[in-house]
Amino acid sequence: MTEKSDLYENAVAERVNGILKSEWIYEECFESFQAPKERIDEIVIFCNSLRPHASCDWLTPFEAEHRTGKFKHHWSRKTVIRKSYVNLYQDNIFWTKMLIFNYQSL
């Protein structure tokens, strides 16, 4: 469902999985392994063709995809994460250990 190494697409996939579980699948019982797969297919068709979404200006995703003219997006843009600042805590521990090691080596 997602491209390799794209944390934003992974977030979308996790959101979709959460919606499937909390709104649809959580209280259902299935008698075979094929039954949930078929149910998920039904849910996806419903959500894409019949259920309006706020982020699509209250259109279904199918209608929004096939709409002509300008379309106002109601979702936020991706923010850019600078990889040099992703894990400051771990980086600080690493450099602190390196400084201590180098000091002890003197």
DSSP 31: S
CA 34 to chain centre: 25
DSSP string, 44-88: HHHHHHTS-BGGGTTB-HHHHHT--S-----SPPPPPPPGGGTTH
**Per-residue pLDDT tens listing for the chain (106 residues):** 555 666 667 777 888 888 888 888 888 888 999 998 999 999 989 988 998 888 888 889 899 888 887 777 666 665 555 555 555 555 555 555 555 555 555 5
pTM of the model: 0.54
DSSP 4: T
Name the residue range of residue 36's domain: 7-80
In a domain, 92, yes or no: no
In a domain, 57, yes or no: yes
In a domain, 68, yes or no: yes
The total number of structural domains that make up the chain: 1
In a domain, 97, yes or no: no
